[in-house]
Amino acid sequence: MASALIDASALVAAFVSSEPKNQHYRELFQLASLEHWSLSTTWPCVTEASYLVRPPERFELLKWIGRGAVSVFPFGQEALIELVPVMQRYTESPRTEMDLADASLYALATDTGVTRIMTLDKRDFSRYKLPDGRAFEIL
């Protein structure tokens, strides 16, 4: 079974019709549904996307997630101890910054081995390397 992680940017693009990549991510989500992909994200990504998507699309996004289209992985507060050094490594002020949502996906990829990711944030996810040296495959 194919698997992929979903960044907040892809969630926003799929649920905001005016976003340039809206059609791309809608089609990718349809393909994932037809082929029964295992899709995963994290609560920081859901929170970020929910903030960026205005009603009524926000409610559609949250219902879609609530129906199980995506697995949402939780992180306990102790995970922050491991996330902060990763965020510091990939933060080069003022030019680039790894935010908590990106760090949570990095940790999820590290834990699960899934490196395929739906994201508009190609610049950052292209530079992130997992501890074993693998790169993300951006969809």
Q: How many independent structural domains does the chain possess?
A: 1
List pLDDT tens digits, range 80-92. Answer: 999 999 999 999 7
**Rounded to an integer, what distance in angstroms lies between the CA atom of residue 29 and that of residue 73?**
18
Name the residue range of residue 29's domain.
3-138
* Strands (E) located in the chain: 3-6, 38-42, 71-73, 116-118, 137-138
pTM: 0.93
Q: Check which CATH number belongs to the domain holding 10 and give it.
A: 3.40.50.1010
Tokens 């940790």 correspond to what residue?
A: 107
List pLDDT tens digits, range 41-52. Answer: 999 999 999 999
Once rounded to an integer, what is the mean pLDDT over residues 33-43?
A: 97
